[in-house]
């Protein structure tokens, strides 16, 4: 099946690899992102990907509603929704957490996922095999010291995904969550550097500490996450719904 896919934050990082993976199967993707320059580059680098939409901030409901409608129209329907948009948020203990920074993470990571999904459901109901893939995190199954907003939002994604699977199963729509561990790229470098600054350690020491908590001693390749998305959307995943799928090198704790 050549899927019609909507990917949020799909112009860079994990989202970009997801777009490329679906494009490689012959699918078409509608991509939104907050970075207009990255969207323009995506159009050039991945021919056939549809990004003809204004920049979308998923924390703004009006932006989301117009974006999803435009995406479904451009694609001629919608089969797969990948809620990838999210921000890492601050690194600080709860008592020192800036409430505005807390709210910012909730608005993007949790509310944004709700806004996009709510708008997409009417279109997914018209698909022969609708699929929702929500990006949670290793932080969605463990407590995460000094990362309370991020962890709380990612735990919320789990409850949201389970609820979606129950509500939408009768329409043939499946919903699953992917829980990546530390993913290779600039984002994890920034997170670890923030932790190093908070703990008075070095970046290398924080990398070693992160690897000590998982069996496979390497960061997750974004391409592997993309491959999992394609699998979940395929016929091979047709009986998988309501599941939380870690891809983290057998991590024993959030790191």
Spatial distance between the Cα atoms of 185 and 220, rounded to a whole number of angstroms: 9
Per-residue burial over 102-119, b = 16 or more CB atoms within 10 Å of its CB, e = otherwise: bebbbbbbbbbbbbbbeb
User: Catalytic annotation on 150?
Assistant: yes
Decide: helix, strand or coil at residue 28: strand
Tokens of 203: 């970046």
CA-to-CA dists, residue 222 to 15, 20, 111, 183, 225, angstroms = 9, 11, 24, 7, 5
Angle between helices 13-24 and 222-233 (to 10 degrees): 50
Spatial distance between the Cα atoms of 23 and 201, rounded to a whole number of angstroms: 42
Write down the residue that tokens 């409901």 correspond to.
Answer: 61
Q: State the catalytic residue, choosing from 115, 144, 150, 171.
A: 150
Which residues have a catalytic role annotated? 150
């Amino acid at each position: 099946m050549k899927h019609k896919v909507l990917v949020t934050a799909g112009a860079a990082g994990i989202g970009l690899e997801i777009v490329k993976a679906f494009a490689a199967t012959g699918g078409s993707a509608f991509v939104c992102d907050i970075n207009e320059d990255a969207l323009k580059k995506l159009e050039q680098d991945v021919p056939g990907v549809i990004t003809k939409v204004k920049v979308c901030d998923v924390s703004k409901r009006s932006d989301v509603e117009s974006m999803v409608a435009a995406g479904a129209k451009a694609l001629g329907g919608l089969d797969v929704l990948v809620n990838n948009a999210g921000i890492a948020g601050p690194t600080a203990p709860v008592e020192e957490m800036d409430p505005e920074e807390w709210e910012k993470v909730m608005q993007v990571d949790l509310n944004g996922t709700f806004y996009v999904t709510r708008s997409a459901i009417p279109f997914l109901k018209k698909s022969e095999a609708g699929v929702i893939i929500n990006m949670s995190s290793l932080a969605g199954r463990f407590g995460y010291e000094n990362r309370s907003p991020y962890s709380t939002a990612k735990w919320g994604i789990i409850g949201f995904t389970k609820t979606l699977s129950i509500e939408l199963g009768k329409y043939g729509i499946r919903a699953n969550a992917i829980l990546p561990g530390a993913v290779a790229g600039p984002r994890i470098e920034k997170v670890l550097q923030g932790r190093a600054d908070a703990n008075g350690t070095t970046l290398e020491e924080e990398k070693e500490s992160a690897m000590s908590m998982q069996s496979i001693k390497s960061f997750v390749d974004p391409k592997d996450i993309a491959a999992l998305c394609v699998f979940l959307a395929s016929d091979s995943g047709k009986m998988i719904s309501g599941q939380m799928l870690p891809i983290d090198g057998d991590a024993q704790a959030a790191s």
